Structure 1
Amino acid sequence: MQILSFNFLLYTICGMWRPIKWSSKCSKMLYSVFTCFSMYLLISLTLTQLLDIILVIDNVDDFAMISLNLLSLISVIFKAVNAIIRRDKIVHLIEILQKKPCRAYNKEDNDIQMKFDRLIRSYSIKYTSLASISATGSIIGGMLNILEGQLAYRTWVPYDYTSPLLFSITSIQECVTIIFASIVNVATETTILGFCLQICAQFEILEHRLQRMAKEKKKETFRISLNDASNETGKLSEHILHHLCIIRLAKMFNNVFSQVFFIQFFISLMVLCLTLYHLSSHMTFADIAPLIVYTFFLFLQIFIYCWAGNEVMLKSTGLSETVYQIDWILMPINERKDLLMIMKRSTRPIIFTSSFLVTLSLESYGSLLKASYSAFNLLQQS
């Protein structure tokens, strides 16, 4: 699998994506065990933090701080489960991109595809580096807690962890879980970004093919044979099928990740409110420095979703302008009607949504920030 190879490698590292090339039963079984172990780590830390909120916490500040980690872990579990149970659908998306009419036909198409592949890899590596900073800060904070004789992260465990062995095992388990959770987050965000940019690449390839077809048409003589006319009509029909394939691909992608969109936006709204509230009540640098880094990464996390969806929306509507700018006057009436069909469909942008609540666009990103600030003001006044 060449498309999004780096992104699926991240999924593989954290146990959520068995490589497709692995065909032996033994390797499949071993990786399934690794997947179960990864899910156990995520679920156990989530449950122990939830029990800590229910059984131990008795003040608002501790509740706000623990809820940040709890909500983030719930989001990670949803992303991990989505990658596992919808593996076949995700593989199908990759297969569509690697088959006709989406695959590159010639050097120009291949150059466009390679350009977007490099762009996806570059963005993914940069985003992974930024996420590593946030994860490293969290791990360092956990290590400092261990040196003070506390667990790495505040949880309620159903056993006495005061013995050195149990204390070490529990703390190491919590740190490993945070690392796995960070990788799942990065893998999901970069995979969604990657698929969105792959859809943008398909639109750019389609635009190039339409422009090339118009140039070839312009070079022809005005007197063409019947066979040549049918060939041109066939080429244009392929481009229409390509456009419909891109639309279906986007719809399938939205169906696979729509629940992730909703969970991410809903939980991010709550986490932003709690983070801003906690920042307003703790003014020492030691308290707010980790939260500032965490808040910045959370804003960036949501921005990735919205920017990627906005790029697809702009590309899908920009196709009509590209069609209009080609020399369609030289074409027969039936081909003009076909081009008009493409332009007409392009007036409806491709928008990634989850029900009617979440829309991936920069406008939604601004609305989320406004909603977070309003909720923060409400929390501060209460």
Structure 2
Amino acid sequence: MERTDWKHTFRLNFMALKILGLWPPGQGAYGYNLYTLYAYSALIILQVCHVFFQTVNLYFIMDDLQSVTGTIFILLSKTAVALKSYYLMKNMKMLKHVMATVDGDLFQPRNEEQNKLIQPAITAWKLTVGTFAGLAIACLFFWTFFPILDKTYKVYRLPFLAWYPYNYKTSPQYELTYLYQVLCTHFIATTNVNIDGLIAALNMFVAAQFEILCDDLRNFHQGDDENSRDVKEKLKTCINHHREILKFADHANKFYNWLLFVQFFVGGVSIGLAIYALIKVIPFSSEFFSLVTYANAILVEVFMYCWFGNDIEFKSSKLSYAIFESDWTGLSTEVKKDMIILVLRMQRSLQISALGLFYLNLDTFVRILRTAWSYFALLRQTEITCTILERRILKSILFRCGSLEVCLG
């Protein structure tokens, strides 16, 4: 049977990351070369500086709750992508080591049936990442063109509120600054989609390996024709496969531990703030659609992490049952003892965590949605409270002015 080229499955991710400066050539980390200079220049100029200019602008709009929330939820996402990029570059050697093992013999499907078993996982990964990328493209379109569509470019409005150390409300500074923001946003969005797609691919790979191992355990003994030595060798191969899967998952989890924590925190806050910003803009305007696509993109992004994490947990929990689906009753006592030891090791399902604080599963996804709604409710309540206070202050001022007029009269 033809070998499965796992790296070929992820080739588009690798190609995009290479263009973005996030996948150096060779098997090692970044060296002292032009590619490293390009990678760090892109990180600083197109990500860090863009985030810095938006952050400084918060000081000048602190009294405007709508502008602050409209800036923060986008700023948080862009900051998270900058952190992801830096963390990816810093731990490139670890990631390259993990990726070097994916095409090993133990991780290969043994027959055509197993090859069919892993196809749904690969299809789900492609569909989820494709949906996320599609929403990101739609979001980029509206962010890029909404000042033009809303005709606010006539008052020199930029796609994003930001401070610059020069007057950008003149030509050609306005056009150049506009182009800079668009370029930065496209670069950041492409980076985010491909880093998240790669992490989802690692989790999908682990889940697919558990699917292969389940099939091996069901069929490691298929009748009385096999001798005890052959059965024991097959069981030993299954044990080694299980050990390698756990090792791969552990190394992968160590690589993206912090990335998960940052993403889940930012995701919950961003969804809540995006919903709040959504009720403050003109319905069905280009800015409205940019917020809708953004909120949905973040939703799919968080769901993608949780879905494949949940898939790992579910498929790893089936291992201890799969071994008893084999024809084990006629095995020797020695092999049965090895089976019992293996079952005991497989009793606990594998869970992918973020710093050990929470696990990647659908329950976590629901909790993030609840948290996002809590942020929205808090902002809404704060706005209502501020409005009531403003009205009371205004009434008090008007009352005092009226009293003063009576006294003067």
Same fold (TM over 0.5): yes
What is the one-letter code of the residue matched to 2:272? C
Deviation of 1:208 (Å): 2.1
| CA–CA distance in structure 2, aligned partners of residues 303 and 44 of structure 1 | 30
1:152 partnered with 2:156 = no
Say whether the 8 Å CA contact 1:89–1:256 is kept in structure 2.
Answer: yes
Aligned pairs, number: 372
Deviation of 1:298 (Å): 1.4
| CA–CA distance in structure 1, aligned partners of residues 112 and 244 of structure 2 | 21
Say whether the 8 Å CA contact 1:6–1:121 is kept in structure 2.
Answer: no
**Structure 1: where are the runs of 5+ without partners?**
222-227
What is the one-letter code of the residue matched to 1:156? W
| Cα deviation 1:178-235 (Å, max 9, x = unaligned) | 00111111112211211111111111211222233222xx0506xxxxxx43343222
Q: Which moved more, 1:279-288 or 1:70-79?
A: 279-288
Deviation of 1:111 (Å): 5.0
| Cα deviation 1:242-263 (Å, max 9, x = unaligned) | 1011111111111111111100
Q: Which moved more, 1:308-317 or 1:111-120?
A: 111-120
Question: Max radius of gyration: which structure?
Answer: 2
Deviation of 1:116 (Å): 4.6
Q: 1:206 aligns with which of 213, 216, 226?
A: 213
| Cα deviation 1:329-377 (Å, max 9, x = unaligned) | 1211222222222322222111111134332110011111112222322
Paired residue for 2:328? Answer: 328
Paired residue for 2:80? Answer: 75
Deviation of 1:106 (Å): 4.8
Q: Superposition pairs for residues 275-290 of structure 1, below 5 Å?
A: 275-282=274-281, 284-286=283-285, 287-290=287-290
Paired residue for 2:24? Answer: 18
Q: Superposition pairs for residues 14-163 of structure 1, below 5 Å?
A: 14-20=20-26, 29-40=33-44, 41-112=46-117, 116-117=121-122, 119-141=124-146, 143-144=148-149, 146=153, 148-163=155-170
What is the one-letter code of the residue matched to 1:185? N
What is the one-letter code of the residue matched to 1:292? V
Three-state SS of the structure 1 residue aligned to 2:33 is helix
| Cα deviation 1:273-319 (Å, max 9, x = unaligned) | 21222233445332533212211111111111111100000011011
1:192 partnered with 2:199 = yes
| CA–CA distance in structure 1, aligned partners of residues 298 and 131 of structure 2 | 15
Paired residue for 1:380? Answer: 380
| CA–CA distance in structure 1, aligned partners of residues 42 and 118 of structure 2 | 34
**Structure 2: where are the runs of 5+ without partners?**
1-6, 383-409
Deviation of 1:142 (Å): 5.2
Percent of aligned pairs sharing the same letter: 22
Q: Compared with structure 1, are the counterparts of its residues 127 and 270 closer, same or farther at alpha carbon in structure 2 (3 Å cutoff)?
A: closer
| Structure-2-length-normalised TM-score | 0.83
| CA–CA distance in structure 2, aligned partners of residues 72 and 240 of structure 1 | 42
| CA–CA distance in structure 2, aligned partners of residues 320 and 80 of structure 1 | 39
Q: Compared with structure 1, are the counterparts of its residues 129 and 293 closer, same or farther at alpha carbon in structure 2 (3 Å cutoff)?
A: closer
| CA–CA distance in structure 2, aligned partners of residues 123 and 281 of structure 1 | 30
| CA–CA distance in structure 1, aligned partners of residues 367 and 269 of structure 2 | 14
Q: Compared with structure 1, are the counterparts of its residues 126 and 152 closer, same or farther at alpha carbon in structure 2 (3 Å cutoff)?
A: closer
| Structure-1-length-normalised TM-score | 0.89
Paired residue for 2:392? Answer: none
**What is the root-mean-square deviation in Å for CA atoms of aligned residues?**
2.6
What is the one-letter code of the residue matched to 1:378? L
Q: Compared with structure 1, are the counterparts of its residues 280 and 167 closer, same or farther at alpha carbon in structure 2 (3 Å cutoff)?
A: closer
